[in-house]
Structure 1
Amino acid sequence: MEQLDLNQIRTFVRIVQAGSFTKAAEILRQPKSRVSRRLAALEKELGVQLIYRTTRQFQLTENGKIYYERSRGLIEGLENLTAELNEETSEVSGLIKITASDDMGVTKLAPVLDDFTKQYPRVRFEVLLTQAYVDLVKESVDVAIRIGNLKDSSLRVKKISSLRNIFVATPGFLERYRHAEDFNQLPLLPFIGLGNAQQVKVIRNSDGKKLTAKVNPVLTTNNPSMMVAMALTGKGISLIPEFLCTDHIRAGRLVHVYKGYQSDEVQISMVTPEQKEVPLKVKKFVEFAAKRLKEIFNES
C-alpha cells in the first residue's frame, strides 16, 4: 500500500467516468493497453477486483463502487488544486485590448486599469472609447464594456450592474422655469441614441406605466458627456445616465428633478469573444474588473 500510485487511481476514475477503456484511453491520451495495465496494477495493489471486464463492456464490483465514490473526490480535488496553482504561478502579462463607450471609459474605467496594473505590472492596455458598435472578433478586441441589451449570442456576457437615465438641470435653470408643470414644457437636451429627438420615453415610478412625451429639443448629441456639459450651462433640462451626474448633484451644480420619472434600466455588461481557451490575462482582468466596476457603480 505504501507504493500506491495516484496515476493508477486517476486511470480507474477516468475509466468509470468514460464508460469504456477505449474512451478513457482517448481522454488520458494513452494507449488502451497502458490503461488496462494500470487498472490491473491497482487491483493487485489493493488486493480486490474493482471492475468485472468482458470483451465489450465492464461493470463495477461492490468494492469498485465504494472505491470510485471515495477516490473520485480525491482526484478531482488534486486536479483543481493543480490548475489553481498553475494559474497563480503563471505570469500575467501582455496586451489587453478593451473597448467601451467614451462616457463609461473616462468616468469609470481608469481607476480599474490602474488598480489592475498595480497587481499585474507586466500587463499593457489598448483602450478604444467610442459610441459606435465594435466587432470584437474582427477588431481583435479582448473585452468590451457595453450598455444595453445584447443581441449577439456568440459572445460571453458577464453582467456588472444596471443604469437608468434621470432628469437633471441647474438650480439657475429651475429658477427661470419654476412655473413649468411638466418636463415636456421645458427646453430639453436629449441624447439622439434614445431615438426620436422630439420625444422621450420614461417610466412613471408611481405605477410603473411607460409614457412617451413630446419635448422641445434645443440641442441633440450622441455623446452623454456632452449632454452633461450642456446641462451645466443651464441651457435646458436633460435626461442623463445617473452615474454621469452623481458628483454634480452632490456638489449642487445639478439638481435631480421630476424624480417620479426615469428611463428603463439598462444592463451594463462585460463581453468577451467566445473561445475555448481564454487567455489567462483576459480571465484575470474580467474577474477583477467585473468586481471593481460593480463596487464603483454601487457607490454611485
Structure 2
Amino acid sequence: MDDYLNDMALFVEVVKANGFRHAAEAVGIPNSTLSRRISALEKSIGLRLLHRTTRKIELTEAGQLYFERCKRIVDEARLAHEQLGDMLAQPSGTLRVSLPVDFAVTYLAPLIVEFADMYPGISFDFDLTPRRVDLVSEPYDVAIRIGESGSSQLIARTLASLTPYLYASPRYLERAGEPGKPADLERHECLAILKAGTWTLHDGKRTATVPVRGRIALNSVGMIRRLASLDMGIVLLPQQVVADDLASGLLRPVLPSWHGSATPIYAITETRLLPAKTQRFIEFLQARLAR
C-alpha cells in the first residue's frame, strides 16, 4: 500500500480500537507517531475526523462517513493483496525454457518432475536443441546455460557450480590398469569433450595439466558417459551426471583426490522483472543444484 492507503488503514484501526493506545499496540508503532499520522491525514483531506478527549475518541459526522469509505477500501486492498500472494504461491501458465540437451536428460529431468508436482498450474515448453536461443526475439522465459553467462545485455543468475571428477568402468581399469597419478592418464584412453587436448586437475594443493588422448572425441556428455560405462575409457564429468552409473557399479572413481575446474551453471533471462512461474523455477533450481 502507498502512504495514503497506509494512513487510511491506521485510521480504521484507531476507530476499531476506540483509541490510540490499543491501536498503536496492534499495529506496532508508538502512540505519538500514530496520533501524528492521523492528524496529518485530517490535514491532508481538510476534514476533522475525530473528537479527542483524554479518555476516548469520537467520530465526527464526516469521520463516520470517511471511516465507512476507508474500511471498504482497506478491506478490498487487503483481499487483493492476499489474492496476489495466492497467485505467487501457486503460479500458472506455460513456462518456456531452453536447456542444454545432455544436462537436461541426465540430471535435470528428475528435478523437473519434482517442480511440476509442486506447481500443477504450470505447463512446460522445453527446447533441448544445441542452439543458443535468442531470449530477446524468441518467446522463452529462461535459458539454462553451462560454462558461460551469455550476452552482457541479459541477466545471468548463478544456479550452482559443478566440479568434474575422473571415472571409468571396472572392466576398463582391469584391462588398462589403474592410474596412480595424473601423469599416468597420458597412457590411457580419455574420452574428451570437443577434442580437448589437456585436462587440468587439482587436489587442493597442487595443479596438474595432463595431455590426454583417445580414439573418440565428441560433443555429447550423454554419449561420453555411455561409452565410459561400456569400457571405452576414462571420463572427466560432474558426479551429478554419472550418479546412476556409480550407484549401479557401471562406473567408479579414478584418482578420487583429484578433480577438474568447477563449471558454473546460469539461468539467463532478458529482464529482472520475472513472472511468478519463472521466478519459482529459478529459485527451485538454485536450491536443488546447491545441495
TM-score range, shorter chain: 0.5 to 0.7
How far 1:180 sits from its partner (Å)? 5.3
Structure 2 residue matching 1:216: 3-state secondary structure? coil
| Structure-2 change in CA distance of 1:44 and 1:157 (3 Å) | farther
Structure 2 residue matching 1:172: 3-state secondary structure? helix
* Alpha-carbon separation, structure 1, partners of 2:201 and 2:78: 48
Aligned partner of 2:284 in structure 1 is: 288
1:194-246 CA-to-partner distances (Å, cap 9, x unmatched) read xxx2522323214242x332122210111101001111111211212321112
How far 1:82 sits from its partner (Å)? 5.7
Q: Are the equivalent residues in 1 in contact too, given 2:163–2:259 (CA < 8 A)?
A: yes
* Alpha-carbon separation, structure 2, partners of 1:80 and 1:223: 52
Structure 1 residue matching 2:256: 3-state secondary structure? coil
Letter in 2 for 1:246: A
* 1:40 maps to which of 34, 37, 44: 44
Correspondence list, 1:73-92, <5 A: 83=81, 85-89=83-87, 92=91
Aligned partner of 2:266 in structure 1 is: 269
Q: Are the equivalent residues in 2 in contact too, given 1:168–1:238 (CA < 8 A)?
A: yes
Aligned partner of 2:177 in structure 1 is: 178
How far 1:41 sits from its partner (Å)? 3.0
Q: Are the equivalent residues in 2 in contact too, given 1:8–1:42 (CA < 8 A)?
A: no
* Alpha-carbon separation, structure 2, partners of 1:179 and 1:284: 45
Q: Are the equivalent residues in 1 in contact too, given 2:99–2:145 (CA < 8 A)?
A: yes
Letter in 1 for 2:44: A
How far 1:125 sits from its partner (Å)? 0.7
Identical positions, percent = 26
| Structure-2 change in CA distance of 1:253 and 1:118 (3 Å) | closer
* Alpha-carbon separation, structure 2, partners of 1:150 and 1:37: 50
Aligned partner of 2:57 in structure 1 is: none
Q: Are the equivalent residues in 2 in contact too, given 1:170–1:231 (CA < 8 A)?
A: yes
Q: Are the equivalent residues in 2 in contact too, given 1:200–1:213 (CA < 8 A)?
A: yes
Whether 1:106 aligns to 2:110 is: no
Structure 1 residue matching 2:137: 3-state secondary structure? coil
| Structure-2 change in CA distance of 1:132 and 1:37 (3 Å) | same
Letter in 2 for 1:285: F
Structure 2 residue matching 1:264: 3-state secondary structure? coil
Aligned partner of 2:217 in structure 1 is: 220
Correspondence list, 1:1-300, <5 A: 7=5, 9=7, 39-41=43-45, 44-45=48-49, 83=81, 85-89=83-87, 92-178=91-177, 182-192=184-194, 197=195, 199-209=197-207, 211-274=208-271, 276=273, 278-291=274-287, 293-294=288-289, 298=291
How far 1:10 sits from its partner (Å)? 6.6
Structure 1 residues without counterparts, runs of 5 or longer: 12-35, 49-77
How far 1:46 sits from its partner (Å)? 7.0
* Alpha-carbon separation, structure 1, partners of 2:49 and 2:285: 50
| Aligned alpha-carbon RMSD (Å) | 3.4
| Structure-2 change in CA distance of 1:114 and 1:259 (3 Å) | closer
Letter in 2 for 1:237: I
How far 1:106 sits from its partner (Å)? 1.3
Q: Are the equivalent residues in 1 in contact too, given 2:7–2:41 (CA < 8 A)?
A: no
Letter in 1 for 2:245: H
Letter in 2 for 1:141: Y
Aligned residues: 233
| Structure-2 change in CA distance of 1:235 and 1:119 (3 Å) | closer
Q: Are the equivalent residues in 2 in contact too, given 1:183–1:258 (CA < 8 A)?
A: no
How far 1:139 sits from its partner (Å)? 2.3
| Structure-2 change in CA distance of 1:87 and 1:180 (3 Å) | closer
Q: Are the equivalent residues in 2 in contact too, given 1:154–1:274 (CA < 8 A)?
A: no
* Alpha-carbon separation, structure 2, partners of 1:8 and 1:245: 55
How far 1:264 sits from its partner (Å)? 0.7
1:43-73 CA-to-partner distances (Å, cap 9, x unmatched) read 844799xxxxxxxxxxxxxxxxxxxxxxxxx
Letter in 2 for 1:203: L
* Alpha-carbon separation, structure 2, partners of 1:79 and 1:205: 58
